[in-house]
Chain A
Amino acid sequence: QLQLLESGPGLVKPSETLSLTCSVSGGSVSSNSYYWGWIRQPPGKGLEWIGTIYYSGGTYYNPSLKSRVSISVDTSKNQFSLRLNSVTAADTAVYHCARLETATVAYDYWGQGTLVTVSS
């Protein structure tokens, strides 16, 4: 059974960089059948798509975040990562990593999510 587990600091100061890693078990990030993505959910609000990455390194980002976001993949560690710079309180959210199946174009497995609070 595929499992995704987010990890990283739960508290980030304003103007600094948020960094999270998603560790994948029970499957491989090197599969050509999937993309790997990040989605966030501010407290009490809806889901916001951040971006996705393919195992070959191709990346696709939400236009509203594109100037601040970077997603990378490490096939040797079977994980992928998110970096969001110049954070503000508006970036406070639960951050989920998820797998996107290319055949169905849907996120079929999700991590539980990790809360990141932006505060001084």
Chain B
Amino acid sequence: QSALTQPASVSGSPGQSITISCTGTSNDVGSYNLVSWYQQPPGKAPKLMIYEGIKRPSGVSNRFSGSKSGNTASLTISGLQAEDEADYFCCSYAGGTTYVFGTGTMVTVL
């Protein structure tokens, strides 16, 4: 069970859109529509932003959206804002009631 691969960092200017990729294998991301995404500001607990690959919990801005193609899931943040600056992690169900997290991506708002 290897960690899902994410870019170490992604940056963008306010108002722009950015996309964070999360690459797994046919044993996890590719087999299940069960990828979740978490936002973690420095020193804080992670917050659920996307579940089942594309769904937003109540209260999460519609500027956050998820998608998947093959073994890669993606999180897009549109209309980037200063408050979006944080670490972002993906997580996939990997079968047998096990889970695997991504390596994490630091988002910087320029």
Residues of A with Cβ closer than 8 Å to B?
A: 35, 39, 45-49, 52, 60-64, 96, 98, 104-108, 110-113
0/1 string, B76-104, CB within 8 A of A gives 1: 00000000000001010100111111111
Q: Nearest B residue to A66 by beta-carbon distance?
A: B98
State the CA gap A111–B47 with chains docked (Å). Answer: 10
State the CA gap A39–B96 with chains docked (Å). Answer: 17
- B91 and A107: CB pair below 8 A? yes
- B46 and A106: CB pair below 8 A? no
- A106 and B48: CB pair below 8 A? yes
Residues of B8-66 at the interface with A, using a CB-CB cut-off of 8 Å, are 34, 36, 38, 44-48, 51-52, 55, 57
Contacting B93 at CB < 8 Å: which of A96, A105, A110, A113? A105
- B36 and A46: CB pair below 8 A? no
| 8 A-B pairs with the lowest CB-CB distances in the bound complex, closest first | A106-B51, A106-B36, A46-B104, A60-B97, A47-B101, A110-B45, A104-B51, A49-B99
| B91 partner residues in chain A, CB cutoff 8 A | 47, 49, 106-107
| A107 partner residues in chain B, CB cutoff 8 A | 36, 38, 46, 48, 91
Q: Nearest B residue to A112 by beta-carbon distance?
A: B45
| B96 partner residues in chain A, CB cutoff 8 A | 60
| B98 partner residues in chain A, CB cutoff 8 A | 49, 60-63
State the CA gap A47–B93 with chains docked (Å). Answer: 14
State the CA gap A62–B6 with chains docked (Å). Answer: 20
Chain A: minimal CB distance from B3 (Å): 6
Chain A: minimal CB distance from B10 (Å): 15
Contacting A47 at CB < 8 Å: which of B1, B55, B97, B104? B104
| A60 partner residues in chain B, CB cutoff 8 A | 96-98
Q: Nearest B residue to A50 by beta-carbon distance?
A: B99
- B103 and A110: CB pair below 8 A? no
- A46 and B3: CB pair below 8 A? yes
- B36 and A63: CB pair below 8 A? no
State the CA gap A61–B1 with chains docked (Å). Answer: 11
